[in-house]
Amino acid sequence: MMRAGIQGRGELTRSLTAILIVTGMVVTSAAARAAEEKGQRKPEVVPNEYVVKLRQPIGDVSLQSASALIGAPIVERISEDMVLVRKKGDFHATDMMRSLAKNSAVALVEPNYIYRMSRVPNDPDLFHLWGLKNRAALDKDGTRGLANVDVGAEKAWDITTGSKDILVAVIDTGVAHTHPDLAVNMWVNQLEKNGQAGVDDDGNGYVDDVHGYDFANDDADPMDDNGHGTHVAGTIGATGNDGKGLVGVNWDVSIMGVKFLSGEGGGTLANAIKCINYATMMGVDVMNNSWGGGGYSDILKDTIQRARRAGIVFVAAAGNSAVNNDTAKEYPASYEVDNIISVAAVDNRGDLAYFSNYGASSVHVAAPGHNILSSIPTGQDVYSGTSMAAPHVTGVVALMLAHNPDLSYRDIKERLIRTSKPIAALKGRVVSGGLVDAFYAMVDIRPPADPNDPTVWSEKREEIVETAHPYPDSHEQTWTIRVPGAKRVSAHFKKFDTERRYDKLQFFNALGESLGTWSGQREESFSPIADGDTLELKFSSDTSVSGHGFEIDYIVFE
């Protein structure tokens, strides 16, 4: 997930926090204060812009009159009771928010947060969809996958391959609705398609919205000018059984493009709200939200709650900062709204992806998100991120609804958690402790225990392997752990702490095949499993910023 990171814009020298009216007093929201106390990064905002929720709808009142009412220039309506204010000049942002909040016509005021798409870029040389069916092949990094570490799509397709009656909103950078793998599965607003050009034929307030709407550019063509949204859409529903290209989790589905992220990958709170409101109004069944950033927003939370009241499932990427969302919140995934399903990413061996956020109580499930092949406007490409994990879950939700349209959002969320395949590396990392599985979710059966769980192996041996603490810069070191006669070996890490993305530990088996790469911080956990009697570790650091390193205290084997 590419998160907000632009600093020093405007006069934002102090932390911007959401302002809330409580019994006539102006206070900062508890969530915002907590985030500030924890030292979390300041959210990125559009300078001098504020989203204002009014106590009463403004109806047909002109923007000029409404501006006079709240004492600030309104530049556009977001909804009947919500407006966007833009105020330029020499003033402090927090003071401006307090001034707005004191107005009796104002219920809430927040910065116009900026959100970023949730993708970690990668190279286009992976040509198999391991997330749907893991054939234990080598991926683009040379890592051999593990069979059954996938979303169980092939068994699920024996039950259903999806339905055009299920409507999925991809809230993102848009969708390339002419893509050969997506065109057949794009939602079509028949009243607009068969109506008059330039006329709001269906009376929903938007003209010519045939495949959705582009709120980033305020037009009716949500064409993807980035690639991210099309990649997400391909995982959810690239057309199946057509003899060409890719296949999504659903062979048949209706995909609505709802764009608020620009070609550069950024979007605003105001436009995110418009997207969710539009998709809610148009009666979607599930929304995919592979984006995040900004700060805590009561207004965005209220908008998601409106979708919840409409019975809509809200799937959200957990984030790509390799942090624990139980303490370091990631929005919108971390809002405590019960239709939200927060998704972590795993690699093709079932290990938590090095970039993925996690949370034993706040991240609900995991799904494939590393080296994922899917559609982009110009063809196909391989991306990584919780952005790629979320659409696997959205696709599974769509399959569940195709099989049983009467499932409520509560039923769906509870089933996904209850029927996730147990994965040892996900114990204590996500609520379900495992990987989403479409087949088990549809038949509502608990899957068997993880066959690759080293915590249940009976053979154990003390083995002290560790770096210097801290480890030196520009350093390389290799260790070999061997247990003669063993069939499988795994090492227990008491601690792991390196500079994320730059200082890495790679794992290999006796054949030299990669078993995965760790970077960043990890809580106590077991290494990837090496088949055979040998586990090799190769550590490397760059020229700066050294961490504690790692400590192995024992190994297990069988």
CATH of domain 19-113: 3.30.70
Please, which residues have CB within 8 angstroms of residue 241's CB and are 6 or more apart in sequence?
161, 247, 251
99 labelled catalytic: no
Q: Cβ–Cβ contacts within 10 Å for residue 453, how many? A: 16
Strands 434-435 and 525-526: unpaired
Buried/exposed code over 430-447 (b: 16+ C-beta within 10 A; e: otherwise): bbbbbbbbbbbbbeeeeb
For residue range 169-194, what is the model confidence (pLDDT) as tens digits? 999 999 999 999 999 999 999 999 99
Distance CA 120, CA 365 (A): 19
For residue range 273-324, what is the model confidence (pLDDT) as tens digits? 999 999 999 999 999 999 999 889 999 999 999 999 999 999 999 999 999 9
12 or 232, higher pLDDT: 232
Distance CA 230, CA 378 (A): 10
Please, which residues have CB within 8 angstroms of residue 182's CB and are 6 or more apart in sequence?
175, 176, 230, 233, 234, 237, 238, 239, 255, 375
Q: Out of 342, 387, 420, 525, which one is annotated catalytic?
A: 387
Dihedral sign (CA 333, 271, 223, 189): positive
SS3 423: coil
Interval 66-70 mean pLDDT? 94
Interval 337-349 mean pLDDT? 97
pLDDT of residue 205: 96
CA geometry: angle 339, 248, 241, nearest 5 deg: 140
Sorted by where each begins, the domain ranges of the chain are: 19-113, 153-443, 455-557
Q: Could you tell me if 402 and 250 are in contact, meaning their C-beta atoms sit under 8 angstroms apart?
A: yes
Note if the bond before 332 is cis, omega within 30 degrees: yes
Q: In what order do the strands lie in the sheet with 504-508?
A: 476-482, 534-540, 504-508, 514-519
Distance CA 380, CA 180 (A): 11
Q: Cite the DSSP H helix spans in 298-374.
A: 298-309
For residue range 195-236, what is the model confidence (pLDDT) as tens digits? 999 999 999 999 999 999 999 999 999 999 999 999 999 999
Looking at the domain 455-557, which fold is it? Jelly Rolls (2.60.120)
Q: Cβ–Cβ contacts within 10 Å for residue 550, how many? A: 23
Answer yes or no: is pLDDT of 120 > 50: no
Say which range, 32-36, 342-346, 475-479, has the weakest mean pLDDT: 32-36
What 3 state SS string does 259-274 have? Answer: ECCCCCCEEEHHHHHH
Distance CA 318, CA 323 (A): 10
Report the share of the chain in percent with pLDDT over 90: 81
Q: Could you tell me if 382 and 373 are in contact, meaning their C-beta atoms sit under 8 angstroms apart?
A: yes
SS3 content of the chain, % helix, strand, coil (to 5): 20, 30, 50
218 labelled catalytic: no
Interval 372-376 mean pLDDT? 96
Distance CA 66, CA 160 (A): 51
Alpha-carbon separation of residue 95 from 68, 70, 87, 268, 399 (angstroms):
19, 15, 12, 21, 49
Q: Out of 139, 141, 150, 172, which one is annotated catalytic?
A: 172
Q: Cite the DSSP H helix spans in 62-172.
A: 63-70, 93-101, 153-157
172 labelled catalytic: yes
Report the share of the chain in percent with pLDDT over 70: 91
CATH architecture of 153-443: 3-Layer(aba) Sandwich (3.40)
pLDDT of residue 40: 52
Indicate the pLDDT class of residue 43, thresholds 50, 70 and 90: confident
First to last CA, the chain: 38
Report the DSSP beta bridge partners of residue 522.
Answer: 496
Q: What pTM was computed for the model?
A: 0.86
Distance CA 467, CA 479 (A): 10
Q: Out of 211, 228, 364, 492, which one is annotated catalytic?
A: 228
What would the two tokens of residue 442 be?
A: 């549809």
Indicate the pLDDT class of residue 501, thresholds 50, 70 and 90: confident
